[in-house]
Amino acid sequence: MRSANMVFSPAPETATPLAQSPFASWGTARWAFVAWLLCCAIMIWLFRRDFAVLAFHDPDDALRLQEVHDWLAGQSFFDVSQHRVNPPFGGPMHWSRIVDLPIGALILLARPFVGAAHADIFACVAAPLLLLGVAACALYHMAKRIGAGEIALGSVVLLLATPTILIQYMPFRIDHHGWQISMAAVALAGVFDPRQRRGGMTSALALALWLQISSEGLPYAALLAGLFGLRFLMAGDQGPRFSSYALTLGSAALALLVATRGLQAPFDPHCDVLSAAYVWPLVAFSAATAIGLAVIAPTSTARRFALLSLGAGAAVLLFAMVGGQCVSGDPFQALGPIAYKHWYMQVMEGRPIWEQDLVKAGVIVLPSLVGLLSALLAARHAAPDSRDRTAWLTLALLIVGTAAVAIMVMRALSVAHLTALAATAWLILRLWQRIQASPRALVRILGSASLIALTPAGICALWGVATAEADEPGSALAQCQSMPALHALASLPAATLFAPIDMGPDILLKTHHSVIATAHHRNAAGITEVIQGFMARPDAARGLIARLRDGRGADYVIGCDNLNEFTYYAKASPHGLAAMLGKGRHPDWLTPVSGEGPVRIYKIVR
């Protein structure tokens, strides 16, 4: 195999079939930047009506802004608990301040000029769009290192038109999902960096940062370790990329963990964040690899295999020793049977493909399948043993790996689709060239238009039509969380509200009240109490709601018409409190308080 600098050096512009296109005269990087600006402008225009009312697309986004507010108001950098959740105990959280940092910085930057309320809007609009720019920039560099400028530009255009990715970058989508995609793009750029050591470090730093934000980065860290190790095993000159990745990953992960969560974080037993169960195996991987490189000269395949086995074996062994329940089973079983069944198991974005309906299953796999076939075709058209063929085959392996993660967890589909974009862009550009070579105008017009079907958006749309499945009924959450709907709560004295789990974050952000639970698993007791209270028969619910654990009690019960959460409770327990409230009736121990829109407020009669 050729050296890494030959295998992953950027292809010349003449290698693309569109090198003589009008895009070449101004530079594909500039056009990619213009495409990002245009996408930002379009999304700002489309969602402009959401700004004034702080209409978040997901409860996590509302809670993220509340977390930033608490931090800017003086809450400790290392304390991410929500103290108005499940009072007086508070709602423990597993989130990372890394996501809060740019949001807080944008708020502080804008406040002197536009005031606090508009500063929030500015930050909630700018933060996800800037992250989208990071993803576009990293994807451009990755695709250009594989193919050429036009393929890179095509990849960015596809990125900016892929709904399964853009949904995580919309204005007000300020939670951590955009960070995950952007860090995946940076890590992919490192995979194809012509400078091995820089590439390995880039990928490792991106994964180390990702792991601070979400433990969902662990499969991708293992995927790149396996990929770099395989290349090193096949060719000794691939050592610098593998070694720089291995040595950087563990040390950077530990350093960032201490810097963002405190000195106790590396000894935290939790399985939902980077903690003792995961960080020490990563450190062991780095340390064992460093020792192996010092004592084993990688001059043969057997020696390289021994070196790789030393690093991987140390990580696996230590994980088995310190992993605890993270090794033995599903850590979410600790929620308890009620919260696990009636809340966690209903979050379909965290479930595998075989639990999804036919439409979602196709959306998960088809864009990756098209990307995989495109990468294999690109490798077939490349010269044997050339850098192009090796690069495309490497990308094919990455597509398979990221698609496998998405098959196991639906919400990982964004990263899988991102990985497939460069190969899909290659196929579309190659077909476009052939179509444009036709002497018939009708073929050129219809053929070019038909290429839309190969884009991720086109694939998903056609699959939805082909399966002919009706769309799921829309959620009433947007109406239940709006500022006008919650306005009536502002006139009430500060109280503890027994509210639906999904409404909790917006109540915290837009009112001065406390709630029993939000949809965050560490507060298992609060989640269980809310589910039990709404599903219990009205007479039994009174005792559950008015006298919570340790003698606590709520002051008001909140309902909302047609809310999916309420609909589920009513279906699971037809004679429960939620079912009664959903029919417009209420027990005699609740007194209606005037509300606006679909939100219903009831004062508990003591």
Least Cα distance to 286 among 337, 329, 244, 229 occurs for: 244
Residues 212-228, mean pLDDT to the nearest whole number = 95
- For residue 298, whether the previous peptide bond is cis, meaning omega lies within 30 degrees of 0, is no
How much is the pTM? 0.91
As given in the structure block, the two tokens for residue 593 are 């308080």
As given in the structure block, the two tokens for residue 563 are 């809310």
Q: Distance (Å, rounded) from C-alpha 358 to C-alpha 54? A: 34
Arithmetic mean of pLDDT over the chain: 89
Q: Distance (Å, rounded) from C-alpha 300 to C-alpha 365? A: 39
Contact status, residue 206 vs residue 217, Cβ threshold 8 Å = no
> 117-121, 394-398, 557-561, 592-596: lowest mean pLDDT where?
592-596
Q: Which residues of 278-308 are buried (b: 16+ CB within 10 A; e: fewer)?
A: bbbbbbbbbbbbbebbeeeebeeeeebeebb
pLDDT over threshold 50, residue 6: no
Strands (E), 144-294: none
Residue 603: which pLDDT band, with cuts at 50, 70 and 90? very high
Max Cα separation, the chain?
A: 83
Least Cα distance to 2 among 380, 301, 384 occurs for: 384
Q: In what order do the strands lie in the sheet with 496-498?
A: 514-515, 496-498, 556-560, 599-604, 590-593
Q: Distance (Å, rounded) from C-alpha 457 to C-alpha 462? A: 9
CA dihedral of 78, 222, 333, 95, whole degrees rounded to 10:
20
pLDDT digits (tens, 9 = 90+) for 540-582: 998 888 765 555 678 899 988 888 898 899 999 999 999 999 8
Contact status, residue 10 vs residue 144, Cβ threshold 8 Å = yes
Domains and CATH numbers, the chain: 196-268+270-323 (no CATH), 477-604 (3.40.50)
pLDDT digits (tens, 9 = 90+) for 496-548: 999 999 999 999 999 999 999 999 999 999 999 999 999 999 999 988 887 65
Q: Distance (Å, rounded) from C-alpha 511 to C-alpha 497? A: 11
Residue 27: which pLDDT band, with cuts at 50, 70 and 90? confident
Helix 441-450 and helix 413-436, axial crossing angle in degrees, nearest 10: 180
Secondary structure (3-state) at 599: strand
As given in the structure block, the two tokens for residue 293 are 């490189």
Q: What is the DSSP letter of 321?
A: H
pLDDT over threshold 70, residue 450: yes
Strand partners, 599: 560
- Segment holding 108, helix H or strand E: helix 97-114
pLDDT digits (tens, 9 = 90+) for 326-341: 887 666 777 889 998 9
Nearest 5°: the CA angle 506, 507, 510 is 75
Secondary structure (3-state) at 152: helix
Contact status, residue 196 vs residue 185, Cβ threshold 8 Å = no
DSSP string, 468-483: TPPPPPPPSHHHHTSH
